[in-house]
Amino acid sequence: MTVRVYRSTDASAPVLTGQVGKLTDLLDAILVNGYGSMTAAGWTIEYTTTNKRAYKQNLTGSNNTSGMRLYVDDTGPGAGGAKEARACGFETMSAITPTGTGQFPTSSQSSIGVGTLVIRKSTTADATARAWTCIANGQTIYLFIETGDTTVPLAAFPFVFGDFKSFKASDQYAVTIIGRNAENSGSATNDPLHIIGAATNLVYDLHNVLMGHFVARHWTGSGGSIKVGKMVDVGKFMYNNINTGMMGGWNSDTQTAGYASAWVALGRNAGGQSNSTAAPWPYPNGPDGALWLSPIFLNHSFALRGYLGGLWAPLHDRPLGHNDTLTFSGGNLNGKSMVAQNIPAYIQSSANGDAGQVLAETSDTWT
């Protein structure tokens, strides 16, 4: 279905704050009702009660011919109160309790609520408006919220739900959810989207899985919710003297190397090296003046399952500014339009840490 871009700066856009019900108001507008001149993404509300929703994917072009559900509890249910909502996926639902089958993650996979992840709305539980950007179609939503937790440099906390592009034909369960795995925390150490896997000397393990990343089922259709990992085109990485992969950037001269052997991050150096010892790939690329990007692959069970359609990893040091837009006029991305979103980076623990970056495809060209 049509890819659409929604922003808090749009005329008549819903206002997102750290108050109960403001996230479901936002999702109602984006997914179901539209606002101002903006057409909705094409989802439906299957079940509803005050500040809780079960959003169902549009069936047109869906991986799963029955559609799956995004359950959101925006009643202020957890330790973060109204600053946060809880969310999970279901294959089917019969009530907003929530009651359903095929929940992902399950209660055994997440200690938050009874099998949920966290969507952080704001650093404060009040009426302070928070900027947001959302790219969505009838099956997938990429939501970026400038919560106020990360301001120097500015970074938006992301949430992902919906279909991904599977390498298996007719993959009925190629639906993912990516969200925070801790409540009442503005720390990027609990924000999972930027993390692309564990690495030692740039050797990735296709069996490695990550916090806050789940898909509905195995590609065989067996079992239920499974944890997954993700990776990028590591062959084009530059790396520093601790042999830790780097993508998109490295800003601080003061971080320590506490996570160097464990994590590689979208948009920043995972190790603790300064600008003088890190070796990011300069942008633009010298020979062709180009911006180089990689798909973001999902992996589990020693295989690449697929990739996040329309979401790209820059292989340079945060080549664009937050909310910058561009349209490619050549190369294999010709005609694709994108918007840059800075996202928190793993060892960023304060408002003055590092930020990563992803590029989201805003043109109706997801392939």
> Which helix (H) or strand (E) is 26 found in, with range?
helix 22-27
Cα-trace Rg, the chain: 19
| Per-residue pLDDT, 185 | 93
The C-alpha atoms of residue 303 and residue 178 are separated, in whole angstroms, by 19
| Per-residue pLDDT, 195 | 80
In 3-state terms the chain splits into helix, strand, coil percentages (rounded to 5) of 5, 35, 55
Cβ–Cβ under 8 Å, residues 177 and 104:
yes
The answer to whether position 246 is within a domain reads: yes
177 burial (CB, 10 Å; 0-12 / 13-18 / 19+) is buried
The answer to whether position 167 is within a domain reads: yes
The amino acid present at 360, given as its one-letter code, is A
Cβ–Cβ under 8 Å, residues 232 and 295:
yes
The amino acid present at 14, given as its one-letter code, is P
- pLDDT mean values, one per 10 residues, the chain (367 residues): 96 98 98 98 98 97 93 98 98 97 97 95 98 98 96 91 97 97 89 70 66 96 95 58 36 30 49 38 87 92 95 88 95 95 69 75 96
The C-alpha atoms of residue 296 and residue 299 are separated, in whole angstroms, by 10
What are the residues whose beta carbons fall under 8 Å from the beta carbon of 105, sequence distance 6 or more? Answer: 88, 115, 116, 117, 177, 214, 225, 227
The whole domain housing 163 covers: 4-361
Q: How many domains does the chain have?
A: 1
Supply the DSSP symbol for 25: H
Is the entire prediction scored with pTM above 0.75? Answer: yes
| Per-residue pLDDT, 205 | 66
The answer to whether position 367 is within a domain reads: no
The answer to whether position 94 is within a domain reads: yes
Cβ–Cβ under 8 Å, residues 225 and 215:
yes
Q: How many CA atoms lie within 13 A of 180 on its CB side?
A: 29
The answer to whether position 366 is within a domain reads: no
Please give the span between the terminal C-alpha atoms of the chain, in angstroms, as a whole number: 12
